[in-house]
Structure formats: C-alpha cells, structure tokens
Amino acid sequence: MKESKKIKNKDKNLNKNSNISNCNSQVVTQSQKNNNTKLIITVLILGILLALMTTLFVLSLQENRKTSLNLEDFYQKNFYELVDNINNTETKLAKTISANDINYQSKLLEEISKNTTLAQVNLNNLPYSINGLDNTVSFINQTSGYCETLSKSLKNGESLTNEQRKTLNNIYDSILNIKEVLNQMSKEMWNGYSIIETSASFDGDYNSFTINLSQIKSNDVEYPTMIYDGPFSDSEVNKKVKGLNGELVGQEQAKQNILKIFSNYNENMVKYINETNGRFATYNFNVYDKNNNEIGYVQMTKIGGKLLTLSSYNDKKSKNLTLKNAEAIALQFAQQAQINNTKVVWSDIVGGNAFVNLAPVQNNIILYPDLIKLKIDLSDGTVLGFEASAYYTNHVKRTLLKGNYSIENAKNKINKNFVIQEERLALIPLDYGQEVLCYEFVCKHGGDDYYFYINTTTGVEENILKIIQTDNGSLLM
C-alpha cells in the first residue's frame, strides 16, 4: 500500500512538472513574439525616420540651391549692368574728347558722371574682398565727381583746357582697360563662371573673384584729389599690423563674438565658410536672414577675435532716419565692436544710406590714420558696412607732442575771406607712412566748405581740402 501511494505521488509530481514546463514554454514563446513585434515596430519607425530625414535633406538641398541661384542671379545682374555702364562710359568719353561743342560736351560729361555712379553701385553689390579693389573703386568714384564738376564749369561757359583734355584722355585709357577685363569676364560667364563659387575661394587676403577683377589697371590720372568719404579716408596705411593684440581665438569664439556685436543675429544666421591667412588672419562667415537668403559677409580677426569687416546689403528705399541718427548708431556700434573713444569726423548721405567715418581721439587729438568706416541704412538703422583695417593696422598709443607754432599764427596763415567755423588738433597721414600733428581748421568761403591743415611745429600748410556737393553726396578736392 505504501509503495502504491509513493508511485501515485511520483506520478502527480511528474504531471505537475510537465505542466510547469508547458507553462514556461508558453511564456517563452509569448516573450519571443513580443520581442519580434517590438523589433518590427522599431525597424518601421527607423525606416519612416530615415525616409523623413532623406526628404528633408533633399528639400533643404533644393532650397539652398534655389537661394544660391537667386543670389547668383543678383550678382550676375549687377555684373552685366557694370559692364554696360563701363561700355557706355567708354563710348561717351571718346565722343567728349573728339567734340568741340561746349553744350554737347557738358551733356556727355553729365551722362558719364551718372554712368560711373551707377557702376559704383553695381560694384558695391558684388562680393569682392574689402580693400581688394581700392584703386579701381577710387578711380570710378573720382571719375564720376570729376566729370560732374567739368560739366558744371562748361555750363557756365568755360571751355575745356588742354590740361583737362589730357586728364580725360588718361581717364579714357583706364576705362578702356576696365572695359576689356570686364568683357573678357563676361565671356567666361557664358561658359558657366560662378561668382558665388569664386567669391567663396580665397588666396591670401582676397577671394578669387577679386583676383580676377584685379587685372584692371588704371593710369595715374593727375586731377585734384577727390575723396567721397571724408578727409584722409584713402590715405596709405602701414603694411605692418600694429593695432591688433590679445590671444589667438578659435572659430567658435569668433562666431560668439559676432553674436555679441550684432544683437539681431542668432546662431542659425551666422555660418562659418573659410579663413584667410594674409596680412590679417581672419575667420570668414556668411550671414543669412530667416528665409536662409545670404545677406552679408563678416571677417573676424584670429588675434583678439575683433570685427574687421562687414559687407551686407538690402533693397529698402525709404529714409526714416536723419544723418544725426546715423552718426549716433555708428558711435554705438563701434562701442559694441569694442572700439571706444571715437568721434565722428565725416558723414554724408548717398542714396538711402549714410556713410560715417569715425576716428579715435587721444588727448583731444583726432587720429586720422586710424579711421573706422561705417555704412548705415536710413530706413531702419541697420549697419550695412563696417571696415576697420586702418584702425587695426595703425592704432597704438602715440607720443603726441605739439610744436611751438601757435594756433594764432596758424590762423593768420588762412586768408581773411575764409570764416573759421571749427578748429582742433589732428594727426594726419603723409606719404610713405609718415604722420604729422596739425591744426585742423574747418572754414567757409563763398558757400563752400574747406579743411586747412597747418603743421604745429613748422607752420607749413600740409594740406587743403575743398568740399564739393554732387548729386551723389559731397566729395573733397
């Protein structure tokens, strides 16, 4: 009996173990099913995400390509308009030199002034490197002012002198050279030349587009020095950079410095493109608006992480601000760029923009060799242009000793017909990198404004500049 019970209990245990085993098998099978289901769902989600990312990437490429094409169209439109204006200038100059009728010459010179002014606007809308085409830009500006001045003198009954005809011939030769270079580049445009691609490629300080344009050579034209943006704005600066100091900063720090200076920029608007290792070592950035359209170009110095240049544009036409408003904006912006203790030494309105020159002040002395130039949009106060290469090249603390030639003696050197409106001490640049401390007198005579510069040591009249009003703002002669 006992043995029989043991067998029965053993059978029960076997059945029980068998049930447990079957139960575990069912649990394992269900777990595998759950894992397989999760795996399938995960694969499906990853597939959907991959498809979505691919779609977004393709759309982004298409949008970037569309933006790039729009910007290329904008650049090429300005380039071809530049070609047209230079071609028209060349034709009209040839007619002016050949003509003898004063009224006809006056009309042609007025048209040449307008063509070269438009050429200047076209150049400003092209992505050439700052200071890369100094001579060409200055030459076109000066040609515009000179031809307008000649046109007005002919309207007053004066005839062209032999010296003026000689000057016009020299200008013509230079314009002819510009025409040939631009027309050659036009042919390359037809074969797929991209302004965007060449402007993004750098060799030293300048992008490839600038280097292509730099084939332009202008003759030494002997006409009165004419400056569109204030006293000594085109003075030669030292080649050695003396005004930069501080530690070497990285690319990301340079970007963060941009965001500190430009309160209206955010992280997504500023994108690093490349770097330059020329006289100024810089990190270079493009700036985009909320629609991912390129609106500007910024260079930050590697040493110290300073703003060196800003070049941007817009198509707004309204003038909501005054010149005084623009001057205040320029001074404030200079402080944001960590350039302090400056003074407005020149300002003017051309089109819908204000051009403002600032100079640092040391012991109440204006330092003209260290100019900072700004361009302000008068519709909303946006800073469209900034250039501080002269400042960072030259700006150091100087030992400035005023000579023994008194200010009263300096005043006596100025003709009594000139009314002195302002007087101050100014350090001005001379040839070959020299500097001299002068008394600066801002005077009026016959409705015109003049700048006189008299050496504080020798009493020598170092320079005289005359302001002439043109349709495109004022210039100095």
What are the DSSP calls for 368-391, one per residue? GGG-EEEEEETTT--EEEEE-HHH
Give the H or E element holding residue 467. Answer: strand 461-470
Concatenated DSSP letters for 142-177?
HHHHHHHHHHHHHHTTPPPPHHHHHHHHHHHHHHHH
- Residues 434-453 pLDDT 10s: 899 999 999 988 877 888 99
- Residues 99-117 pLDDT 10s: 888 888 988 998 998 888 8
Residue 127 burial (C-beta neighbours within 10 Å; 0-12, 13-18, 19+) = buried
Rounded distance, CA 407 to CA 360, Å? 22
- Residues 1-56 pLDDT 10s: 445 544 455 455 545 555 544 544 554 455 555 556 666 666 666 666 666 665 55
Rounded distance, CA 27 to CA 150, Å? 102
Side chain identity at 207, as an amino acid letter?
Answer: N
Q: Is the pTM of this model over 0.75?
A: no
Length of the chain: 477
Rounded distance, CA 272 to CA 277, Å? 15
Concatenated DSSP letters for 5-33?
HHHHHHHHHHHHHHHHHHHHHHHHHHHHH
Among 401, 403, 353, residue whose Cα is nearest residue 373 = 353
In this predicted structure, the answer to whether residue 220 has a pLDDT above a threshold of 90 is: no
Q: Is 135 helix (H, G, I), strand (E, B) or coil?
A: helix
Could you tell me the two tokens for 176? 């002819």
Rounded distance, CA 146 to CA 144, Å? 6
- Residues 330-346 pLDDT 10s: 999 999 999 999 999 98
- Residues 363-375 pLDDT 10s: 999 999 999 999 8
- Residues 269-280 pLDDT 10s: 899 988 877 778
From residue 412, give the alpha-carbon distance in Å to each of 89, 165, 409, 426, 459. Answer: 45, 37, 5, 18, 10
CB neighbour burial string for 46-60, b if at least 16 within 10 angstroms, e if fewer: eeeeeeeeeeeeeee
Q: Tell me which CATH code domain 251-394 carries.
A: 3.30.310
Rounded distance, CA 367 to CA 437, Å? 9
